[in-house]
């Protein structure tokens, strides 16, 4: 399985600021996904990050709030813009490997104050 590293692992952010989360994979993967998990909730897909094209966002998520970059097949970033306390969540990078299985990074725990 792919090894997925996320940074930062945890952060406390001020309201109105933006934070960029980095995701690095140890192998080339075609599809990378960004999920959000709010406290006590299940996983919600934010967007699919495709190399060489715009990210595909799910209903309720927009590029202005969650811009995503995917410069190559091993790296992606998610920015959470103009944060509010409602954005306090775990943000998870995941990849879809050649075995049709999805694996997750360690997650980035964001608290907005």
Partner 1 sequence: QKEVEQNSGPLSVPEGAIASLNCTYSDRGSQSFFWYRQYSGKSPELIMSIYSNGDKEDGRFTAQLNKASQYVSLLIRDSQPSDSATYLCAVLYGQNFVFGPGTRLSVLP
Please tell me whether residue 105 binds partner 1 under the rule CB under 8 A: yes
Q: Is 110 in the site for partner 1 (CB under 8 A)?
A: no
Residue of 20, 43, 51, 69 interacting with partner 1 (CB under 8 A): 43
Q: Tell the residue number behind the tokens 């103009």, with chain if given.
A: 82
The CB-of-40 to partner 1 minimum distance in angstroms stands at 10
The residues near 31 (Cβ < 8 Å, ≥ 6 apart) are 48, 49, 50, 95, 96
Q: Which is nearer to partner 1, 15 or 26 (CB)?
A: 26
Quote the least distance from Cβ 18 to partner 1, whole Å.
23
Cβ atoms of 105 and 4 closer than 8 Å: yes
Closest alpha carbon to 84 in 11, 8, 13, 9:
13
**Calpha distance 7→21 (Å, rounded):** 6
Kindly state whether residue 73 participates in binding partner 1, applying the rule CB under 8 A.
no
> Which positions lie near partner 1, rule CB under 8 A?
1, 31, 33, 41-43, 45, 90, 92, 96, 100-107, 109
């Amino acid at each position: 399985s792919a090894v997925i590293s996320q940074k930062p692992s945890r952060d406390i952010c001020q309201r109105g600021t933006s934070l960029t989360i980095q995701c690095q994979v140890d192998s080339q993967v075609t599809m990378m996904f960004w999920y959000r998990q709010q406290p006590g909730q299940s996983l919600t897909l934010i967007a699919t990050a495709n190399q060489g094209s715009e990210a595909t966002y799910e209903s309720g998520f927009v590029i202005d709030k969650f811009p995503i970059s995917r410069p190559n097949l091993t790296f992606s970033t998610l920015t959470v813009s103009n944060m509010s306390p409602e954005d306090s969540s775990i943000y998870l990078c995941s990849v879809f490997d050649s075995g049709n299985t999805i694996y997750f990074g360690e997650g980035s725990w964001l608290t907005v104050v």
